[in-house]
Structure 1
């Protein structure tokens, strides 16, 4: 029998592969593997933390009416505290985050970089408008970094529909450099899980590089940010169209090729009555019956 460390290792692997919105179901299942609630929480915390940061898990911002993204970019480096803190740039608040219960605590005000904040705030306003136009329940977070002309835009949108056995998550991240490379380096990740009478999971990622034209790089913040999101919109629309075409092709070709054809009677077999079938008589009576070679 595997020891507790081996069981934690196996359970952690399952955690890291959890489909969108199904982490609680996976946790309940891995309890059977670990079979020891005393070590379950501490043993799985590293995997839960890794999963939450990679998946852009959402957190309710303390004393605010919006959510923010918990990610490695949001983590405050060298906070001087034993427990790590995460930043919500929109409310200028940092907080501690419980990776098991997905709860925030201990809010604290954070002073933004005065050199970067005007441009960051303009990007945030444009991002919220972009979300309202394209993502029903999307959340965005915009972070500044050194030098002040560098920004990171993160977007996540989740759709969970357990009644119809599917869930999905869209994540996109863009690193914007207005001064040096004058480029937008982006990555989009899509994960869809469909599990009605089966288990199909699609994971895809797309890397992109978008040059920032001089007219945008040298414009004022309010003039530049809308054009930045117009460039992002073009790339995300192109990817969405490509995914839709791929889904249609899979539905019409790949998935149909996987389906099992009906027998010659053109009727499904009732497996509860299979022992009562007279195979020879059934085949002879049906259209297009064939003769077995001796």
Structure 2
């Protein structure tokens, strides 16, 4: 297998990197390939895919906040245009380096005037939602590329605690369709615990609900707040179901996997067992002393 094939095979591991640990995986691949120039060229498409799928956050130039790298944020790149990403909050587009995770070349972006009023109202509600439920989270609200009266809400929250051997990421995405009066979305959770082991949780939960006519017909700020109240209800129910699953796993699933104690109800001292076995073998080989 040549170096290019090794990069293609090894870089696929990047897509499975747990939250906050992609640099560790990248360093391991780097040691295997031993060619930084070839590696950087070969893994760029995989890093781009990872950052977009994982809602990687970036410091937005000329602002004091972060935004989300995602498919909804992607602008340009059609007909040979340079790929850029949008921060709808500041109305700035920028180039994103998928290796260094830095934004550059900020430029003003002209928003769709017809959709901006409701998008901005949803954004305000999203930021209030962050304060209540995701202290370190990042949210972004985009006008959908798929038509008028459609908006994409994205939320991501990361927790990295390598000292205690765990990391986690919450991602949620909702498409608000004011024409169909419905919200369709998903919640993605990835948790990694790796102290003396390697346990991962990857959860994907679909969400859909209708927007009551009374909400849909209200003013933008009121409608946005009530839509987030419905989102809060859906996410709260899912959180409760996760807690119930954890409790059942602790009380039933993991107990069933534990090694049963012997009849003495005490753990075996394997060092002593080896000593008993050695003594038995010596006893079995004992015979009369040779005579001369």
Structure 1 residue 280, shift from structure 2 partner: 8.9
Which of structures 1 and 2 has the bigger CA Rg? 2
Map Cα deviations across residues 167-224 of structure 1 (whole Å, 9 max, x no partner).
Answer: 1111100000112x11101111111111111111111101121101111111110110
Matching of residue 3 in structure 1 with residue 2 in structure 2:
yes
Map Cα deviations across residues 222-257 of structure 1 (whole Å, 9 max, x no partner).
Answer: 110110001100100011111111111111111122
Q: Report the equivalent of 2:260.
A: 261
Name the stretch that deviates more: 73-82 or 161-170.
73-82
Structure 1 residue 265, shift from structure 2 partner: 5.5
C-alpha distance in 2, partners of 1:105/1:274? Answer: 65
Name the stretch that deviates more: 195-204 or 146-155.
146-155
Structure 1 residue 102, shift from structure 2 partner: 0.4
C-alpha distance in 2, partners of 1:142/1:165? Answer: 33
Alignment of 1:13-92 (within 5 A): 13-78=12-77, 82-92=81-91
Is contact 2:76–2:82 with CA below 8 Å preserved after alignment?
Answer: no
Matching of residue 171 in structure 1 with residue 179 in structure 2:
no
Structure 1 residue 13, shift from structure 2 partner: 1.2
Matching of residue 158 in structure 1 with residue 158 in structure 2:
yes
CA RMSD, Structure 1 to Structure 2 (Å) = 2.0
C-alpha distance in 2, partners of 1:280/1:261? Answer: 27
Q: Report the equivalent of 1:228.
A: 227
Q: Report the equivalent of 1:205.
A: 204
Change (3 A) 1:78 1:8: closer
Helix, strand or coil for the counterpart of 2:143? strand
C-alpha distance in 2, partners of 1:111/1:92? Answer: 7
C-alpha distance in 1, partners of 2:162/2:63? Answer: 29
C-alpha distance in 2, partners of 1:241/1:279? Answer: 54
Helix, strand or coil for the counterpart of 1:64? coil
Is contact 1:79–1:85 with CA below 8 Å preserved after alignment?
Answer: no
Helix, strand or coil for the counterpart of 1:167? strand
Change (3 A) 1:55 1:103: same
Is contact 1:122–1:221 with CA below 8 Å preserved after alignment?
Answer: yes
Helix, strand or coil for the counterpart of 2:73? coil
Name the stretch that deviates more: 77-86 or 204-213.
77-86
Change (3 A) 1:30 1:264: farther
Change (3 A) 1:113 1:264: same
Helix, strand or coil for the counterpart of 1:116? helix
Structure 1 residue ranges without an equivalent (≥5) = 282-294
Structure 1 residue 127, shift from structure 2 partner: 0.4
Is contact 1:11–1:44 with CA below 8 Å preserved after alignment?
Answer: no
TM score, norm. by length of structure 1: 0.89
Change (3 A) 1:152 1:269: same
Structure 1 residue 38, shift from structure 2 partner: 2.1
Helix, strand or coil for the counterpart of 2:207? strand
Change (3 A) 1:94 1:252: same
Change (3 A) 1:268 1:101: farther
Matching of residue 110 in structure 1 with residue 97 in structure 2:
no
Helix, strand or coil for the counterpart of 2:120? helix
Name the stretch that deviates more: 8-17 or 267-276.
267-276
Map Cα deviations across residues 114-137 of structure 1 (whole Å, 9 max, x no partner).
Answer: 111111111111000001001121
